[in-house]
């Protein structure tokens, strides 16, 4: 990679060199429409740099034939199947099309077929979006796309909706700043209440999103306040401007809205979802939006959560609230993402039956089947709140009559705030592959992909994109900001990339995804040893989530973080607070008893086999032991270690692993394998990670030594 140009954003996984293989060849693009033009423009841009050519034939006129170049052999043909006859030089594409034939049926609207035959690489799609995703698949393959023959392979996304949720504030929030939980500088959309107006950056961002497989985004925080309310009304033009910029990359814009917007904006006396005037207000708002943004995606709502307004205030249910908005959007094909992140954040800690982990299930599962088809209930992947380790939310297995989306957090609120290397691909992959009904039964990916309506049968997804069968897909909270590297920590780019790729294909190996990201992002330099760079990046990233877990939160304990900003250790920071209680450590033991037998009964929210597996100390996985059980410090884990010794050992080991990461990264500096600016940025962040890891280790080990009185069997120094 060359030295970063500080005036333009870092190219992330789309540096010009990633297009070398395409840009040095002869390409034919066939078809009509904005996204096809994007494909043509992308190829043309690459050709301008690397000397190849591109011909574009629309359905109406096959330009290559008219100009007599039709007989030339192409290296790459990207064609819509309906684009009409192909020129002679694209004959292999015709054959591939025939093979794909009527018996293979229509391709997914975002899908494509890829093959290589007789020296021609062929991408066929039935809709322009498919051609765009096909192009980026060829980019990913690089030179390999033009090597040996390839049998026809049909690609389509497993999850229909793959949305990036921005917690970007329009106004600067007095506590949260321009981006809530943002660790990468300001917002790429907003500054001090107004649009930033950096069209190039927003366009580049849309390109990056499309290239990793995303197709939607919200442009404002789920906590909606101040000027953000007005994005629905007199500031709608700001949203339309963003939509215009991202549309050519197949990204649809959604808005986070305030449930009480009719009150906040127009002085209505109520926001009751069953009130006629309120319903009419939302219907008018939707009409206005679609008049301005015809492909608007829909609304995202955080209601009755952490102080946000919602239907409870009017004695109504979440279904009443969500359905009202759904009805307003339905005539235009919009959806409502209604978040299930609802819990009592004013708890009385003396009441041991209150359990935040239970909340989403208790609030939402009674409403299963009562949401409109264009409502997506958006469920955080764990029952708590994006902690380093949590079980999968049982809600994902408990609402067969509802479209569900799973929400993950790329912004590293609880995983090192983009100062620590923490590759989350392996974590999300575990979540998506989790089988709530046991091995061999549908996974979370199947639930949110719509191929599983319940645990007892697997039904194919419907053809339409409405209804429960369509699933609700993946939502990822963005980790992007106005920073040169987009994500503050340059290596945190891998998280956004992985979210898109896993949303498209949840079965992908997260380490293979990392290889894709490395290959695209880091162009091998003429002098450097690419294996050294790849080896170093794998050494830093592969196990980084587990390393982070080792020096922070043992065995499923969460929230031992400093209250408010959530960075760094504070074991009792949230303990016995109104937000919840998370470890119950005392002189005898630690952990939260969530069993049915003696605890909060949370284990009962799971179907079998997990309800029993989590309930029993004999079968509960070590890594979640303290999430489900309160045990003495001397309790022996399946690993053979005691709980207290495990805490000491993992904390020391985690720090040692970070020290090794520092050494590995230092070693590649002189080799010039990455630009000096990027190398320096990562070096600086690693130094902070090491400092912070030591602090975590000291704090946690000291706390538990004092509480338990049990010494480290290895006699290491604990303060």
Count the neighbouring beta carbons within 10 Å of the beta carbon of residue 537: 25
Cβ-in-10-Å burial (0-12, 13-18, 19+) of 317 comes to: middle
Is residue 559 involved in binding ligand GCW (CB under 6 A)?
no
Alpha helices in 455-603 (DSSP H): 493-504, 510-521, 530-541, 544-551
The residue from 75, 180, 519, 649 that contacts ligand GCW (CB under 6 A) is 180
Least separation, in Å, of the C-beta of 633 and ligand GCW? 29
Give the 3-state secondary structure of residue 597.
coil
Is residue 167 involved in binding ligand GCW (CB under 6 A)?
yes
**Both structure tokens of 537:** 């990046």
Question: Phi/psi zone of residue 84: left (φ > 0), alpha (ψ -120 to 50 degrees), beta?
Answer: left
Q: Which is nearer to ligand GCW, 178 or 223 (CB)?
A: 223
Q: Which is nearer to ligand GCW, 327 or 385 (CB)?
A: 385
Q: How many residues bind ligand GCW (CB under 6 A)?
A: 10
Least separation, in Å, of the C-beta of 563 and ligand GCW? 10
Least separation, in Å, of the C-beta of 355 and ligand GCW? 17
For residue 149, how far is the Cα from the chain centroid?
A: 34
Give the residue among 191, 208, 253, 218 at the shortest CA–CA distance from 477.
Answer: 218
**Both structure tokens of 687:** 């130094």
The residue from 38, 178, 218, 223 that contacts ligand GCW (CB under 6 A) is 223
Least separation, in Å, of the C-beta of 261 and ligand GCW? 17
Establish whether 529 is a catalytic residue: no
Is residue 341 involved in binding ligand GCW (CB under 6 A)?
yes
Q: Which residue is nearest to ligand GCW (CB)?
A: 385
CA distances from 628 to 236, 356, 620 (A): 46, 13, 8
Is residue 164 involved in binding ligand GCW (CB under 6 A)?
no
The residue from 302, 372, 419, 681 that contacts ligand GCW (CB under 6 A) is 302
Binding mask 385-414 for ligand GCW (x = CB under 6 A): xx--------------------------x-
Catalytic residue among 306, 456, 588, 666: 306
Least separation, in Å, of the C-beta of 396 and ligand GCW? 16
Establish whether 306 is a catalytic residue: yes
Q: Which is nearer to ligand GCW, 385 or 516 (CB)?
A: 385
The residue from 222, 421, 447, 553 that contacts ligand GCW (CB under 6 A) is 222
Contact of 167 with 129, CB cutoff 8 Å: no
DSSP structure string for 262-299: HHHHH--S---TT-HHHHHHHHHHHHHHHHH-TT--EE
Catalytic residue among 180, 238, 413, 649: 413
The residue from 10, 56, 160, 181 that contacts ligand GCW (CB under 6 A) is 181
Per CB under 6 A, contacts with ligand GCW among 484-543 are: none
Least separation, in Å, of the C-beta of 292 and ligand GCW? 26
Q: Are strands 252-256 and 112-117 parallel, antiparallel or unpaired?
A: unpaired
Is residue 645 involved in binding ligand GCW (CB under 6 A)?
no
Count the neighbouring beta carbons within 10 Å of the beta carbon of residue 61: 10
The backbone torsions φ and ψ at residue 243, rounded to the nearest 5 degrees and listed phi first, read -60, -40
**Both structure tokens of 541:** 């990233």
Count the neighbouring beta carbons within 10 Å of the beta carbon of residue 564: 9
Establish whether 118 is a catalytic residue: no
Catalytic residue among 110, 272, 385, 407: 385
Least separation, in Å, of the C-beta of 223 and ligand GCW? 5
Alpha helices in 55-212 (DSSP H): 63-66, 91-100, 128-141, 199-212
Least separation, in Å, of the C-beta of 417 and ligand GCW? 12
Q: Which is nearer to ligand GCW, 180 or 593 (CB)?
A: 180
**d(Cα 391, Cα 347) in Å, to the nearest integer?**
22
Query: Which residues of the chain form contacts with ligand GCW (CB under 6 A)?
Result: 167, 180-181, 222-223, 302, 341, 385-386, 413
Residues annotated as catalytic (active site), given as ranges: 306, 385, 413
């Amino acid at each position: 990679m060359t030295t970063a140009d500080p005036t333009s954003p870092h190219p992330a996984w789309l540096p010009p060199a990633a297009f070398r293989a395409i840009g040095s060849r002869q390409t034919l693009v066939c078809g009509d429409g904005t996204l096809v033009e994007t494909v043509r423009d992308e190829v043309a841009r690459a050709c301008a740099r690397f000397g190849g050519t591109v011909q574009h034939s629309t359905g109406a006129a096959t330009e290559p034939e008219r100009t007599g170049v039709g007989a030339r052999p192409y290296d790459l043909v990207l064609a819509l199947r309906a684009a009409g006859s192909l020129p002679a030089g694209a004959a292999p594409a015709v054959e591939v099309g025939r093979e794909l034939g009527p018996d293979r049926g229509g391709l997914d609207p975002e899908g494509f077929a890829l093959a290589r035959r007789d020296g021609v690489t062929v991408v066929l799609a039935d809709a322009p979006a498919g051609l765009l995703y096909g192009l980026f698949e060829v980019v990913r393959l690089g030179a390999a796309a033009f090597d040996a023959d390839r049998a026809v392979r049909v690609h389509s996304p497993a999850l229909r909706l793959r949305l990036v949720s921005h917690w970007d504030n329009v106004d600067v929030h007095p506590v949260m700043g321009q981006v809530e939980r943002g660790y990468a500088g300001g917002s790429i959309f907003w500054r001090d209440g107004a649009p930033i107006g950096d069209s190039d950056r927003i366009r580049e961002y849309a390109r990056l999103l499309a290239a990793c497989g995303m197709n939607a985004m919200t442009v404002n925080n789920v906590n909606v306040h101040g000027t953000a309310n007005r994005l629905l009304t007199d500031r709608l033009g700001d949203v339309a401007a963003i939509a215009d910029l991202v549309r050519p990359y197949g990204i649809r814009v959604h808005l986070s809205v305030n449930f009480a917007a009719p009150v906040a904006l127009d002085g209505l006396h109520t926001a009751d979802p069953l009130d006629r005037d309120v319903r009419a207000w939302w219907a008018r708002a939707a009409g206005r939006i679609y008049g301005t943004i015809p492909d608007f995606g829909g609304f995202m709502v955080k209601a009755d959560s952490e102080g946000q307004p919602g239907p409870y205030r009017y004695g109504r249910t979440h279904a009443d609230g969500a359905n009202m908005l759904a009805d307003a959007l339905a005539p235009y094909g919009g959806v409502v993402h209604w978040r299930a992140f609802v819990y009592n954040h004013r708890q009385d800690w003396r009441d041991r039956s209150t359990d935040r982990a239970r909340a989403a299930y208790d609030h939402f599962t009674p409403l299963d089947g009562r949401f409109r088809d264009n409502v997506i209930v958006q469920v955080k992947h764990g029952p708590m709140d994006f902690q380093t380790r949590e079980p999968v939310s049982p809600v994902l297995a408990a609402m067969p009559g509802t479209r569900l989306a799973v929400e993950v957090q790329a912004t590293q609120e609880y995983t090192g705030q983009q100062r620590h290397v923490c590759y989350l691909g392996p974590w999300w992959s575990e979540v998506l592959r989790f089988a709530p009904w046991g091995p061999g039964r549908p996974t979370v990916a199947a639930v949110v992909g719509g191929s599983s309506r319940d645990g007892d049968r697997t039904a194919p997804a419907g053809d339409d994109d409405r209804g429960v069968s369509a699933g609700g897909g993946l939502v990822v909270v963005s980790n992007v900001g106005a920073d040169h590297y987009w994500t503050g920590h340059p290596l945190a780019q891998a998280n956004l990339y992985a979210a898109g790729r896993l949303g498209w294909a949840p079965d992908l190996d997260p380490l293979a995804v990392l290889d894709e990201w490395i290959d695209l992002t880091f162009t091998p330099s003429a002098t450097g040893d690419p294996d050294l760079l790849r080896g170093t990046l794998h050494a830093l990233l592969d196990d980084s989530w587990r390393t982070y877990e080792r020096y922070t939160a043992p065995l499923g304990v969460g929230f031992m973080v400093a209250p408010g900003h959530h960075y760094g250790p504070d074991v009792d920071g949230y303990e016995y607070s109104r937000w919840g209680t998370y470890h119950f450590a005392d002189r005898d033991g630690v952990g939260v008893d969530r069993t049915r037998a003696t605890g909060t009964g949370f284990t009962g929210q799971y179907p079998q086999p997990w309800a029993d597996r989590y309930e029993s100390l004999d079968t509960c996985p070590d890594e979640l032991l303290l999430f489900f059980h309160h045990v003495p410090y001397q309790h022996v884990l399946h690993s053979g270690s005691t709980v207290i010794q495990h805490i000491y050992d993992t904390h020391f080991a985690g720090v040692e692993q970070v020290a090794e990461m520092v050494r590995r990264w230092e070693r590649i500096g002189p080799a010039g394998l990455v630009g000096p600016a990027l190398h320096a940025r990562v070096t600086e962040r690693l130094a902070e990670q090491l400092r912070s890891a030591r602090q975590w280790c000291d704090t946690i080990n000291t706390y538990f030594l004092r509480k338990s009185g049990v010494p480290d069997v290895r006699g290491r120094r604990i303060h």
